[in-house]
Structure 1
Amino acid sequence: MQNKDIEARRVDAISRGVGVMTQIYAERAENSEIWDAEGNRYIDFASGIAVLNTGHRHPKVIDAVKAQLDRFTHTCHQVVPYENYVTLAERLNALVPSSEPMKTIFVTTGAEALENSIKIARASTGRNAVIAFTGGFHGRTFMGMALTGKVAPYKLGFGSMPADVFHAPFPVEMHGVTEADSMAALDKLFKADVDPNRVAAIVIEPVQGEGGFYVAPVSFMKSLRALCDQHGILLIVDEVQTGFARTGKMLAVEHYGIEPDMVTMAKSLAGGFPLAAVTGKAKIMDGPAPGGLGGTYGGNPLGIAAANAVLDVIDEEKLCDRANSLGQRLKQRLESLRDSVPEIVDIRGPGFMNAVEFNDVKTNLPSADFANRVRAKALEKGLILLTCGVHGNVIRFLAPITIQDTVFSEALDILEESIKESRVA
C-alpha cells in the first residue's frame, strides 16, 4: 500500500478542517521509531504532540493495558466505579505540590480537563471571569478556544467565543514583553475591563506549548501566585504538554516553588491512551454538586491502567533525570551551530522540552519559512519535527524520553544537516 493512495482517500473522506502535517501513514511504531505503510523508517521527535514521553508501546504500559482488557473495558465510573481509578487519583494528589488535601477527577482530553477546571473554579468561587495569556493554547472546544491566545487557525470561522474570558500578554522579552509589562497589563485589565473580584481563575502554561515553548519566569509565576492570593483568584496551571517528566520534573510547576490551586493534565499521562485529569485543592474540587462533573468515557479503565504504569516507568527508569540529560545534549548540539547558522536566535527550554527559534538574517524578523524548510528537510531524511509559535518560526522537540542513545545521536546528526542545508535552500 502506498502513502499517496491513502492520502487520496483521506482527502475525499475526511473534513479539510483536520489538518495533516505529513503524508506518511503509520503502520507500526516502537519507542522512538515509526514505520510507514511503505516500510520507511522515521525517528519520531513529535511523540503525537507530547503524548509519548514513555515512548511508543512501552512494554510495561502495554502489559498493563492487556491485563485490563482481560478484566473489563468500560463500566462508566459514575455507574460502576473501579479501584484503579481511585489509586491513580491518590497518586496524582500526591504529585501536585500542596500543603493542603488534594482531589482529582478524570476526563478524556486536555481540552476537557481545561473546561472542567473552569467549571470547578466558577462553582467554588461563585465568580465568572477567567484570564489567560497571549500565545497560550488550551484546546479546541469553545471554552478552550476562548482561553487560547492565538486566532489562526484555532478560532477562524467559529463565531463568538464564550464571554468573560480576558487575555494578558505572556512575558517574552525577546519579543518585547517583559514581566513588568505583563503585570502592568493585568493591573490595567482590572482597572479597565474586569473587577478582580469577579475573576474566578487565571490560567497559565508554565512553558507555552503551541505558543512557542516560551518559559514563564520563576519571578513571574510567584507574582501571579501573590496576585491571585490578594484578590481571591484561583491559579490554574495547565500541564497538559509540560507534565510527566518532560521538563525534568514530574510537573513543571515544581520548578517554581509555588502551590497551584488546580493543575490540568493529559497527553503523556497515559502513554498514548486517551486520559486527562484535573487535580486541585480538595475544598475547591468539591465546589461542584454531585453529578456536575464526569463523562461517559472519563477515566476509561484502559487509560487508567496505562497511566498507573506510566507513573511506574517514570520512577523506575528515572526519566526526569534522563530528560535533563537529553535536553542538555540537544541544546549543546544546537549551540554548536550558532556561528555557522545566524538564523538561530534562541535555544531554550527546561529538561527535554526544548525549542530553537529562527529569524530571517536580512530582516531580523521571525522566519516561518526557515523553520518549515528545516522541518521538510528533516522529514526527507527520516526525522519527524514539529513547528510552533505565534509566528510559526519555532521548532519544538518532543522525542520520547526513552529514546535509545544510538537513535538520539542519529537524530541529532539529521537535525544538524537539515538546519545547515536550509541555509542554502
Structure 2
Amino acid sequence: MTSNVESLMSRMSERLAPSMAKDHPNLPVIKEEGCYYYGADGRTYLDFTSGIAVTNTGHRHPRVVGAIKKGADLLTHGPSGVIMYESILSLADKLAEIMPGSIDCFFFGNSGTEAVEGALKLAKHVTGRPAAVSFIGGFHGRTYGAMGVSTSKSKYRYRQQPQMNAFQVPYADPALTEAENIAVLDKELDRVFSHQVMPEEVACMILEPILGEGGYIVPPAGWVKRIREHCDKHGILLIFDEVQTGFGRTGNWFAADGFGVEPDIIAAAKGIASGLPLGVTAASKELMQQWPLGAHATTFGGNPMACEAANATIDVLRDEDLLENAEKMGSYAREKLEAMQKQHDVIGAIRGKGLMIGIEIINPETGEADGGGLMEILDLALDEGVLFYFCGNKTEVMRMIPPLIVTKDQIDDGLAKLERAIERYKAAGK
C-alpha cells in the first residue's frame, strides 16, 4: 500500500500542473462509495466534502451509475444543436419543475464557471449594458468573466488584470442586524452609482445567496430582498450563483427558495449530475429567447451521459427525500457543533443552512481568525479518518458538506473524529 501511495504522489508531482495538483489534502484514493473514500493506504475515510458539494446523492449512487451506463450504451457525445436527444430535453423538463419562479429555459455547459460566464453574457446581451455589480467575498469561478466578479481571495486575480467591467459592494456581515445590513447595502450601492457607474450602465448584479468560498455566510432574507428591489428599480438583472447551494444542499432545491426571492438568471452546476461535468445557465423563456443563435455556443455542454446522470440525480433527491434529510441532518449537526463549541475555545462562529455548514477556527487569545490552526486541525481530522475542506479569506472556516444521504451515526462518527483532532491540536500547545 505504501508503494502505491508513493507512486501516485510521485507521478502527480511529475505530470500535473501545481495549480491542479497542490490542493489540500492530496489524499490518494482508489474507490468511493456512499459517504466514504477508500484510500490507497488501505484505510477508509468518512467524506464530509462531497467532492466540494458535488456528490449530493453520495458517491457512486447505484441509480446514477446505472443511468451513466445506460447513456453510454446509446450516446457518448452530442453536440446539442447539431443533433438532439432525449436526455437533454428530459433534464430541461425536470429542471423547469424545480427551478424558482418563472425560470424554465436552459443553456447547458460543463461547469460552474461556464454557467456563470453564460449568465453574464446573457445579461449583457439582453440589456445592452456593459457593467456588473458583485459582492465582496463572492466566488464565481476562475475564467475571465467569472474571475472579474469574484473577490473571495485576491490571489485568484494575481497577474490576470484587468478583468471585466465590474464593481463591488460588501456582502452581508453576520455581526450586523438585518436592518444594519440593509442600511450598508443602500449606502454602498448609492456610492457606486453616484461615483463609479450609472445604474443605467449595469447589466446585472451577481450574488451567491449563501457565501461559499468566502466563508459560508448566510445573509438575512431582508437583505437579499432589498437587492431584488434595487435591481427592479434600475432595470438590472439579478443573477444567483447557485453552483454550490443548488440541488438540495441547503434543504431546498435552491437557496433562492429559502429567501423568497426570484432571480432573473441562475447559474448552477456541482450537485446537478453527481460528479459528471455539467453546468446550466437558467432563465425564463422570455429572457432566454432574446439570446439568438451564435451569441453563445458549446461543443461538449449538455453531454448525453451527463444529462442521464443529472436526470437520475434529480430523481434520487426527490424519491429518497434528500432535501428533507439535508435540513434534518444539518440541524442535528449544528446542535452537536454548538455543544462542541462550548468545550473548545478554538471554535468560533458556526454558520450554515441545511448541510452547508461552516466552522470558524480562531485564536482563543485574540479571537482572530486562525487559518494556520485550521489547516493543522484538518490534517489531524484526516488522520482520525474524516475529510473536511476549508474556505474563507484567511482559510479560517472549515466546510462541513457531507453527501445528503448522511445519517446520524455518520455525523456522530465524523464529529467525534473532529473533536479528537481538536483535542490533539490543543494538547500540542496550539
TM-score by length of 1: 0.96
Aligned twin of 2:93 = 90
SS at match of 1:299: coil
Q: Give the % identical residues.
A: 34
Alignment of 1:127-146 (within 5 A): 127-146=129-148
Deviation at 1:369, TM superposition (A): 1.9
1:125 partner letter: T
What one-letter code is carried by the residue in structure 2 that aligns with 1:422?
Answer: Y
Deviation per CA, 1:29-52, whole angstroms, max 9, x where unpaired? 101101122322111111111001
Deviation string, structure 1 residues 357-398 (Cα, Å, up to 9, x no partner):
122111221111221122111011111110110121100111
Q: Which moved more, 1:396-405 or 1:125-134?
A: 396-405
Q: Is the 8 A contact 1:93 1:279 kept in 2?
A: no
Q: 1:224: how far off?
A: 0.5
Q: Which residue of 2 aligns with 1:158?
A: 160
Mapped partners of 1:52, 1:304: distance in 2? 15
What residue number does 1:358 align with?
Answer: 361
Within the alignment, does 1:312 sit opposite 2:326 as a pair? Answer: no
2:405 aligned with 1:402: yes
* Secondary structure, aligned partner of 2:206: strand
Change (3 A) 1:354 1:151: closer
**Counterpart position of 1:167:** 168
Q: Name the counterpart of 2:264.
A: 261
Where does residue 337 of structure 2 map in the other structure? 334
Deviation of 1:101 (Å): 6.1
Match of 1:148 among 147, 150, 167: 150
Distance 2:382 2:186 in 1: 41
Match of 1:57 in 2: 60
Q: Offset of 1:405 from its aligned partner?
A: 4.0
Contact 2:182 2:226 in 1 (8 A): no
Secondary structure of the structure 1 residue equivalent to 2:96: helix
Q: Cα distance, 1:20 vs. partner?
A: 2.2
Q: Is 1:244 aligned with 2:258? A: no
Q: Which amino acid aligns with 1:168?
A: V
Question: Do the aligned partners of 2:174 and 2:219 also contact (CA within 8 Å) in 1?
Answer: no
Aligned to 1:380: 383
The aligned length equals 423
Query: Which amino acid in 1 is paired with 2:199?
Result: P
Is residue 79 from structure 1 mapped to residue 82 from structure 2 by the alignment? yes
In 2, distance between residues paired with 1:327 and 1:47? 14
2:10 aligned residue: 8
Structure 1: 5+ residue stretches without partners: none
Structure 1 distance, partners of 2:217, 2:290, is 33
Residue 284 of structure 2 corresponds to 281
Shift in Å, 1:23? 3.1
Matched residue of 2:353: which SS? Answer: coil
TM-score normalised by the chain length of structure 2: 0.95
Q: Match of 2:255, as an amino acid?
A: A
Letter paired with 2:173: V
State the match for 2:120 in structure 1.
118
Per the alignment, residue 106 of structure 1 pairs with 108
Distance 1:214 1:195, change over 3 A: same
C-alpha distance in 2 between matches for 1:333 and 1:408: 9
Q: Show the counterpart of 1:66.
A: 69
Are residue 371 (structure 1) and residue 374 (structure 2) matched?
yes
What do the CA deviations read for 1:279-334 (whole angstroms, capped 9, x no partner)? 11222212221122221100000110000001100111101110011111211111
Secondary structure of the corresponding residue to residue 81 of structure 2: coil
- For residues 239-289 of structure 1, the C-alpha deviation after alignment (integer angstroms, 9 at most, x for no partner) is 000011110101110011121101111001000100000111222212221
Query: In structure 1, what residue type is equivalent to 2:175?
Result: M
Structure number having the greater helix percentage: 2
Whole-angstrom CA distance in 1 between matches of 2:236 and 2:25: 42
Paired with 1:151 and 1:414, the residues of 2 have a C-alpha distance of 30
Report matched runs for 1:210-249 at 5 Å: 210-249=213-252
Q: Secondary structure at the match of 1:288?
A: coil
Preserved CA contact (<8 Å) 1:344 1:358: yes
Distance across 2 between alignment mates of 1:407 and 1:226 = 42
Name the counterpart of 1:29: 32
Which whole-Å CA distance do the structure 1 matches of 2:308 and 2:284 have between them? Answer: 24
Contact 2:246 2:255 in 1 (8 A): yes
Q: Where in structure 2 are the equivalents of 1:405-424 lying within 5 Å?
A: 405-424=408-427
Q: Which runs of 5+ in 2 are unaligned?
A: none
What whole-Å deviation, never above 9, does each CA across 1:150-196 have from its counterpart, x for those lacking one?
3443112223222x111111011338983322331111100010100
CA distance in 2, matches of 1:179, 1:238: 20
Deviation at 1:342, TM superposition (A): 1.8
